[in-house]
């Protein structure tokens, strides 16, 4: 007996089985983050739109140009984007403006943690990943890269269109 048959083959079988099990969690995970953070986007956007004066004042304090226009734009992108994420409809498409939105949030309202990210590697845990935009940005990037998963309107529409095309 050699080491390959005694150790390596059983280890590889176990690894393959573990991967098959974990892969089954991909779609429920994508659904969970889309629902949770999509709702968070919706609530944040609705809050901005319902308090447009306060949002405009805040944007003005950050020296964002055209603060009222941008307050409406951001509120709308977050509200509509959150709803679309929850549905899993046009998920990758809506992720692009959401990523841009959260990047701008970092570069305006959270610039201090962005500076710490580049100047002090220990500051990553202290500020960058704990800042409000991080989870939203991470969700938008995740959906952009991996898609919405099979529990989504995008997946259902694609299956429907492929079935129609095959007929």
Rg (CA), the chain: 21
Residue 17 confidence (pLDDT): 93
In angstroms, rounded to a whole number, what is the distance separating the alpha carbons of residues 113 and 81?
Answer: 25
| CA-closest candidate to residue 62, choices 45, 50, 74 | 74
Burial track 87-110 (b if 16+ CB lie within 10 A, e otherwise): bbbbbeebbebbbebbeebbebbb
Residue 125 confidence (pLDDT): 59
The rounded average pLDDT for each run of 10 residues, N- to C-terminus, in the chain (167 residues) is 76 92 94 98 98 98 97 98 98 98 95 81 71 95 97 95 79
Residue 114 confidence (pLDDT): 85
Residue 43 confidence (pLDDT): 98
Residue 35 confidence (pLDDT): 98
Residue 124 confidence (pLDDT): 62
**Domain map (residue ranges) of the chain:** 30-166
Q: Give the global pTM.
A: 0.86
Residue 69 confidence (pLDDT): 98
């Amino acid at each position: 007996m050699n080491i390959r048959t005694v150790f390596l083959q059983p280890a590889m079988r176990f690894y393959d089985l573990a991967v098959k099990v974990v892969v089954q969690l991909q779609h429920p995970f994508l659904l969970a983050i889309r629902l949770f953070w999509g709702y968070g986007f919706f609530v944040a956007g609705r809050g901005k739109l319902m308090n447009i004066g306060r949002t405009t004042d805040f944007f003005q304090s950050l020296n964002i140009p055209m603060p009222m226009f941008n307050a409406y734009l951001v509120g709308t992108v977050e509200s509509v984007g959150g709803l679309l994420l929850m549905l899993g409809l046009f998920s990758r498409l809506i992720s692009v403006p959401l990523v841009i939105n959260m990047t701008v949030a970092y570069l305006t309202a959270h610039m201090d943690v962005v500076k710490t990210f580049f100047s002090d590697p220990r500051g990553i845990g202290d500020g960058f990943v704990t800042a409000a935009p991080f989870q939203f940005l991470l969700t938008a990037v995740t959906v952009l890269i991996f898609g919405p998963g099979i529990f989504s309107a995008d997946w259902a529409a694609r299956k429907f269109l492929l079935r129609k095309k095959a007929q």
